[in-house]
Structure 1
Amino acid sequence: MIEIIPETGSTNADLLARLAAGEEIAENYWLVTDTQTSGRGRQGRPWLSEPGNFFGSTCISLQASDPPPASLSFVIALAAYEALVPIMDRPDRLQLKWPNDVLMSGAKLAGILLEGRGRNIVIGIGVNLVSAPKIADRDIASIAGTGSRPDRDVFAHSLADSFRNEVAAWRDTGLEPLFKRWLSVAHPVGSPLAVHATDGSRIFGRFVGLAEDGALLLEDGDGGVHTLHAGDVMLGRN
């Protein structure tokens, strides 16, 4: 089910508030808004609202047999990728960046934020379908910038279907197939990366894969391999 509302501060905040009030939110329910006035990205960054773009959130109720919840970052990234491929003239320009950014020709096309409450994970996603907000230190892209103008509601249903399928696969087959698929459409092994770690440090190296839990493996110039569970990743030595 997709519920569309004209305006809200944040679809993630709305679902978290409903969970805090004791409401049960069914899986496969999406809250989508035309305008989001207080959208948030990773590390507290604002996610700017542009008319015609997609802003929505859904919720997963964790089961005892589920893989680790952090791996849902890869699930939603793949769902977004699969929903975007059919509406792009050049799907080969799409690429995933650890852990869950969707890029087009190296510029950010979609952002994803996961927030937990108890056994529930709220997943929010913003996708630049028709316009790209200007952000000083970021390259931002939109699909409309390539000549097409996707319909928000059609995309919403495609994303919901794709995410439902990806969650089923995540539960049925576990992490190894998930990470293998993610790697097939992400920055290649050997890519130079710069990681701004949560402690303020910056690590340069080359991408050498994922750990068993999905952590980023980065080999520095001395041959040491860093296992990173959080951080802001930039392609190249930025």
Structure 2
Amino acid sequence: MQIDTIGETGSTNADLAARLASGDVLAEGYWLVADRQTAGRGRQGRQWFDTPGNFMGSTVVELRVSDPPAMLLSMVAALALLETVLQRLPDPLRVRLKWPNDVLLDGAKFCGILLERVKGHAVIGMGVNLVSAPSIDGRDTRSLSALGPAPQRDAFACELAAAFAKEVARWRSHGGGDLRTRWQAAAHPLGTVLSVHDEHGAVVSGQFAGLAEDGALILRLDDGSQRVIHAGDVTEEKA
């Protein structure tokens, strides 16, 4: 495991993607962590807001022919974040997962995960609100500091890197079925009514019916049919 830090950059994901594209050899276990990002990105092209003391970093995974679906690596990252955060929370029920790759604290967003594919590798970026959370119109945000002393960024980085390496190894050895089962146990229960703004801008509502082999969301619609959704924003409907 190697963690390099940089004072300021546009995006750690973009940095690693550029290095891979230019032929650099980046071994699994390598992380690039920034004190500040000026062009951090989230899913669907959203801006990721940084704050000094928060965690902003990226790593790489070599994609092998024998590996489970690469899209599941977003869930690998979410489970690694979950494991790292749970060590610091007195009540584990305050944190849970939301499809496709969110980790929620008291129902609010406090981290982001971005997965990109570059020349036979997956570049996985993560941002975690350790000391403060940005104010974003229409979205609830939280930071770990709201529950107690904020973890020191470098210590958090080491713990997250170790947890991620463990989850990648388990993804390869146990396959996607084990990963989906463990992810689902920490997410919305089966039967939860969800509304999804899909990649085409349409809103689809139905009951959560599990995950497809590639990690796609399965909804059971009112007519009994199932809809498989590969990308979108999820809202859990209140009972």
For the residues of structure 2 that align with 1:235 and 1:15, how far apart are their CA atoms? 34
- Give the percent of matched residue pairs that are identical in Structure 1 and Structure 2: 54
Matches within 5 A, 1:77-88: 77-88=78-89
CA contact (8 A) 2:21 2:119 kept: no
Specify the alignment match of 1:194 in structure 2: 195
In structure 1, give the amino acid aligned to 2:166.
Answer: N
For the residues of structure 2 that align with 1:173 and 1:79, how far apart are their CA atoms? 16
2:91 corresponds to 1:90: yes
SS of the residue corresponding to residue 87 of structure 2 reads helix
Name the count of aligned residue pairs. 237
For the residues of structure 1 that align with 2:146 and 2:40, how far apart are their CA atoms? 22
Cα offset for 1:91? Answer: 2.2
Specify the alignment match of 1:236 in structure 2: 237
Specify the alignment match of 1:18 in structure 2: 19
Listed as ranges, the gaps of 5+ residues in structure 2 are: none
Cα offset for 1:92? Answer: 1.6
Specify the alignment match of 1:148 in structure 2: 149
In structure 2, give the amino acid aligned to 1:235.
Answer: E
In structure 1, give the amino acid aligned to 2:24.
Answer: E
Matches within 5 A, 1:22-101: 22-101=23-102
Matches within 5 A, 1:132-171: 132-171=133-172
CA contact (8 A) 2:74 2:115 kept: yes
SS of the residue corresponding to residue 87 of structure 1 reads coil
Cα offset for 1:68? Answer: 1.2
Deviation string for 1:4-44 (max 9, x for gaps)?
Answer: 11111100000011111110111100000111110000000
Cα offset for 1:123? Answer: 0.2
Specify the alignment match of 1:175 in structure 2: 176
Cα offset for 1:192? Answer: 1.7
For the residues of structure 2 that align with 1:145 and 1:47, how far apart are their CA atoms? 20
For the residues of structure 2 that align with 1:213 and 1:190, how far apart are their CA atoms? 20
SS of the residue corresponding to residue 116 of structure 1 reads strand
For the residues of structure 1 that align with 2:170 and 2:224, how far apart are their CA atoms? 35
SS of the residue corresponding to residue 63 of structure 1 reads coil
For the residues of structure 2 that align with 1:207 and 1:111, how far apart are their CA atoms? 22
CA contact (8 A) 2:115 2:123 kept: yes
For the residues of structure 2 that align with 1:137 and 1:143, how far apart are their CA atoms? 20
SS of the residue corresponding to residue 25 of structure 1 reads coil
2:216 corresponds to 1:215: yes
> Once superposed, what is the RMSD of the aligned Cα atoms?
1.1
For the residues of structure 2 that align with 1:90 and 1:152, how far apart are their CA atoms? 22
For the residues of structure 2 that align with 1:56 and 1:27, how far apart are their CA atoms? 14
For the residues of structure 2 that align with 1:71 and 1:149, how far apart are their CA atoms? 29
Deviation string for 1:36-81 (max 9, x for gaps)?
Answer: 1100000000000111110000001111111111111111110110
SS of the residue corresponding to residue 174 of structure 1 reads helix
In structure 2, give the amino acid aligned to 1:37.
Answer: T
SS of the residue corresponding to residue 110 of structure 2 reads strand
Listed as ranges, the gaps of 5+ residues in structure 1 are: none
Cα offset for 1:175? Answer: 0.7
In structure 2, give the amino acid aligned to 1:49.
Answer: D
For the residues of structure 2 that align with 1:90 and 1:48, how far apart are their CA atoms? 27
CA contact (8 A) 2:194 2:237 kept: yes
For the residues of structure 2 that align with 1:206 and 1:129, how far apart are their CA atoms? 33
In structure 2, give the amino acid aligned to 1:50.
Answer: T
Deviation string for 1:148-183 (max 9, x for gaps)?
Answer: 211111110000000000000111110111111101
In structure 2, give the amino acid aligned to 1:145.
Answer: A
